[in-house]
Amino acid sequence: MATLDDVRAIAQELPGVSESIDGHRGGANWVVGRAAFAWERGPSGRDLTQLAEQGREWPPGEIIGIRTDGEQVKQALLETFPDVFFTIPHFDGYPAVLVRLDRIDLDQLREVITDAWLLKAPKRAAAAWLADHPSERTI
């Protein structure tokens, strides 16, 4: 079981990452440059209404949003690990999934955070990091 502190620790090990508090929702965001790649995500009233209309509920526990490398990767995560990753109508057409921290192990969390960072990091920083971490090449 992972926590927001685990997310924070993993994200802050990556070059150029900063943490900020989202002014809209009040949760933590992890950004590289100006691009968020992971963020704390609670439900909005609209999220809850849309889920209820689908006969679904927002899961308990801490949730983060994480960028994915397009719709195929998003769908693969949702289909392969349905107890860990989920989506909501707000994310339709958006390359991101929601992660149940109480259901993900630390190795998988590190992998999805690193993959998300690689998508948003400056090309040179990503290439240098990959050169120093060849076993981390996941995307």
Q: pLDDT tens digits for 27-73? A: 899 999 889 999 999 999 999 999 999 999 999 999 999 999 999 99
- With a cut of 90, say whether residue 113 has pLDDT above it: yes
Instruction: Provide the pLDDT confidence category of residue 139 given band limits of 50, 70 and 90.
Output: very low
For residues 76-97, average pLDDT: 96
* Token output for 129: 């990091």
Give yes or no for a contact between 38 and 31, defined as CB atoms under 8 angstroms apart: no
Q: For position 92, what pLDDT does the model report?
A: 93
Q: How far apart are CA 38 and CA 99, in angstroms?
A: 10
Q: How far apart are CA 63 and CA 43, in angstroms?
A: 9
